[in-house]
Every structure is written in structure tokens, then in C-alpha cells.
Amino acid sequence: MTGRGTLTEPRARGLGSAAGLLCAWEQGAAVPSGAVGAALLRAAGVVEDLATALDLPLSDSSVLLAAVYARTFGERVQAETSCASCGERLELELPLHRIDPVPEPAAHGTTVVTVPDGADVAGGELLVRCPTLRDVVAAGDAPDPETELLGRCVTDGKGGGVDVAALTPDVRRAADRAAEQLAGAGALVVRSACPGCGGSVSADVDLAALLWQRVTTEAGRVLGEVAELAAAFGWAESEVLALSEHRRAAYLTLVRGRP
């Protein structure tokens, strides 16, 4: 706490209020798509600044995003996917309360991958750490995102950089698997049976994208309501946003019931 107040733009913390939701929507729109999860954690008041959110291991940021989603929109998330075998569209439900934190120290430690004799890796082993959102953003801009992502998370046994593209397929696979395991909830997959063909369907869950989708939809709804009430009563945006959800709904009912 600095003790010094601000005269302009008081930042609504949290996504629970209409004003907070619009702030989160603005902050999410202002960053590259890979960083939206970090922007939402910042907007929700879970972390102090964007840099802190970007440097969280994916295992942590996913658990925090799940908590923000559950707190703001409830515990059940519907996600759509399609069956790879028959093309049937299906809706999967993701129970957020079943997303558990990766047990310490896995999330914050490193996994050692031993490389076979003769491989050109100092120390004869690779150290793999959990990817962060910052790694994901950087990888998104690279010509080969998967190689870039792994390269950022792997060092040799002596702490030096590793040319991931030069690793043998087996070692590369082991390193990929280690990074995925460290990410834990960050690499969430839901599985279900396809109602069309009975086959098994699995879908990667991107909590940041799901939360962002929901924030975008709700922000659109709030903006529409502000526009409606502003036009009807001549109120400023801040005045409409200051109304409780209940009172806003009551005024909307009045406006819409007018002949």
C-alpha cells in the first residue's frame, strides 16, 4: 500500500462487477492472445502485475484461472468439440472443482531427462522446467512454436542452452513429456464417449481461452445494457455501471416494457 489515492480511473478489481468485467475485457484485448490468461489474472486481482502472471508456471496459472472462472461464472464450463472419427459435434462439461494444483515441488522444480551416451549434451542430461505463459507467448511468435517452447524450458546438465532441434526423437519425446507433466493442469485434457460413433473423444482444455470467451460475451452484454440505459435516461456509462445488477435489470425491464 502506498497510501496515495488516484483521481482518475479507479481500477475495479475482480471480474464480479460490471465495471470490473469491462476492465478485464479491455486489458485482455490489449495483449497478444497468448498473454490473455495473464491479463485476466491481473484484472482479477490474483497477481499484482502482468509480468508476475506471465512468469507463473502453467501449472499454477491454470489452477488460478480455474478459480477465477469458478468464482465469476460458476463451477461448470461447457466446451464444444467435434469427434475426430465421425465429425459429430459434442458439448463437453469441464468440472472446475476437479482441477487440482500440481503437488509441490513438481510444479516449481525441474525434471531430469537422461540422454544416451554419445549425445552431444553437456553433463549427459537435460533439465526440463515447467513452461510459463511468457514462454507460450514467445513460442507463438516463432516459426516453429513447439521447438521454441521446449528450447526455452530445457537446459543441459550444466545449465547451458540446448539445441532442441538437434536432439534425437526419443530424447525430444522424453523432454516434451516431462514439460507436459510439469504443466499438469496447464495441459488439461477432457475425455468423453462420442454419442455418434461410440468412439473416445479427447479435447485439450485451454482455460485462458474459455475464460476469455466468457468475459468477451459478458462484456458485450454489459455494453449493450449500458447503451440501452444511456439512450433511455441520458445516464453516463459510469452511472449505469455503478448500479447493482438487480437495479440495472429492473431499469432494463422498464425501458423494454415501454410502448
- CB burial of 246-255 (b: ≥16 within 10 Å; e: otherwise) equals eebeebeeee
Q: Name the one range near Zn ion by CB under 5 A: 52-60, 81-89, 152-160, 167-175.
A: 81-89
Helix then strand then coil, in percent of the chain rounded to 5, is 55, 15, 30
Question: Cβ of residue 93: shortest distance to Zn ion, in angstroms?
Answer: 17
d(CA 175, CA 154): 8
d(CA 222, CA 18): 7
> Does residue 83 bind Zn ion (CB under 5 A)?
yes
> Does residue 197 bind Zn ion (CB under 5 A)?
yes
> Does residue 19 bind Zn ion (CB under 5 A)?
no
Q: Which of residues 200-229 bind Zn ion (CB under 5 A)?
A: none
DSSP code per residue over 69-86: HHHHH-SEEEEEEE-TTT
> Does residue 85 bind Zn ion (CB under 5 A)?
yes
231, 256 contact by CB (below 8 A): no
Q: Name the one range near Zn ion by CB under 5 A: 45-53, 75-83, 222-230, 248-256.
A: 75-83
> Does residue 90 bind Zn ion (CB under 5 A)?
no
| Among 55, 88, 228, 237, interactor with Zn ion by CB under 5 A | 88
Helix 169-183 with 145-153: angle, nearest 10 deg: 70
| Among 86, 166, 231, 236, interactor with Zn ion by CB under 5 A | 86
Question: Cβ of residue 191: shortest distance to Zn ion, in angstroms?
Answer: 13
> Does residue 84 bind Zn ion (CB under 5 A)?
no
Site residues (CB under 5 A) for Zn ion?
83, 85-86, 88, 194, 196-197, 199
